Amino acid sequence: MMRAGLLATFALLVLGAQPGSANAQGQLDTTLVALTYHKATGTPLDFASAVQYSPAVQAASNFDRDDVTKQEIARLQSQMAATDTTHEFVVKVDDNISEYDHARGEFSIVLFKPGYSVPFNAFGQQYQLVFANADAMRAIPMPKDQARVFDASLNSFGRRVTDEVHFRVVGAGDPSGAVTGPRVVRAEIIAAKILDPSGRVVAAPSEANAPVAKVAKFDPTTVDVSGLRVGSSIKDLVATLTRLFGPVTREPITKPVYQGLATTLTVNDMGCFAMPGRSTPPSPGTVCVTAMADNNDVVRTIRIERVFPWMDQDVFRNALVQKYGPVADAQNGGGFTLGWGPKVPVELLYDRSGPPYALTAEYLTNDDYMSRGMNALPQIRVVLSLVDASWAALASK
């Protein structure tokens, strides 16, 4: 789902073939976009459920439905197998252009701002299309004198425009972490032009062929959470935690958590939760740490929690994307969670319902609704969790 402040609905317009046109894209085939997404990412498609929406199955009699369903499943599986994952699509989207940003000297194409997506339906499910290189296409830079004339022109038609976007499907998930939910289709813009209501081109993003940025391979042994890393010895981590945060409690793991884990280290255990009736509720700046080590006293998981005064979810997201790079997955449920790196077993996760990645960051409100005043903003609890994914993969064998 798009975040609450960006619930703008972008209407998909059909890009029909024009008489004498060389355009081979024709109407946007949302079924083909969805199939390309599933094939390119390896995300499973429930063929049996998907074909229930096909006209052939819906028109079949009860007597013939089973046979028709099998035929449609075979047809759809064959169609996916033949799908070219490099196929170029074209979509037209209703949009608008922002007011002029005097500090930056530019207008912005709203669709290309973080948090916006193009929703479409396929197989009875909603998908969300996001553009990985949208930020490179967002700005329309312009000197102030020229911008004044351009702004007046935009106002003459209510700033309403149509974005014609040529794209390829390249993966899953929103790299900015702003669009969450299932079936987020990551695309790369190949070219784009912005049209006014009469069809006249009013802007053509200057980096029309900007490729998706290549990201270095994620290595959890070099990534840190608040300066702490997996792969160190218990002795070294205890010394660091004691110096930074205070006394460390070391206990054996008596209830199996994951094969090979033997020891738990904690600082201020459970001290970051706001709970009803708690005599000393956590205050901004409170820190809690939990780490687990293997039988060789090597630290394999670290979780650090910190309580903050209220901050906007976008502040959290932007800071972490800047530090860790494009997001592998994001979810927005009981809290807002971002994930990076390779997938790890859910048994090693702090939140087992969140993205199952080596590094996760969670944004949680931290209030008990009793001690907080009616008009006060809640505290925010940020939880960073890091798992040694290489060790976890070996330990699971």
pLDDT confidence of residue 355: 85
**Owner of token pair 């290309």:** 112
Domain range holding 133? 4-203
What is the bridge-based pairing of β-strands 125-131 and 139-141? unpaired
Specify if 226 maps to a domain.
no
For residue 387, give the H/E element and its range.
Answer: strand 379-387
Rounded distance, CA 242 to CA 265, Å?
11
277 shares a domain with 174: no
Specify if 27 maps to a domain.
yes
The answer, as to whether pTM is greater than 0.75, is: yes
379 shares a domain with 254: yes
pLDDT confidence of residue 258: 84
pLDDT confidence of residue 218: 64
- What is the mean pLDDT, run by run of 10 residues, along the chain of 397 residues? 35 32 50 96 95 94 96 96 95 94 94 92 94 90 95 95 94 91 93 93 72 57 89 95 96 86 94 76 92 95 94 91 88 87 88 87 80 71 94 80
387 shares a domain with 279: yes
Q: Give the Å distances, CA to CA, from 219 to 174, 297, 352.
A: 21, 21, 22
- What does the DSSP assignment read for 294-312? ETTSBEEEEEEEEEES---
Specify if 223 maps to a domain.
no
pLDDT confidence of residue 13: 35
Rounded distance, CA 383 to CA 177, Å?
16
Number of domains forming the structure of the chain = 2
Rounded distance, CA 305 to CA 271, Å?
9
279 shares a domain with 177: no
Angle between helices 65-82 and 30-41 (to 10 degrees): 70
Q: Which residues, 6+ apart, have CB-to-CB distance to 29 below 8 Å?
A: 89
- What does the DSSP assignment read for 322-359? HHH-S-SEEEESSSEEEEEEEE--GGG-SSTTS--EEE
At 239, give phi and psi (nearest 5°): -65, -40
263 shares a domain with 187: no
242 shares a domain with 185: no
pLDDT confidence of residue 395: 74
Specify if 211 maps to a domain.
no
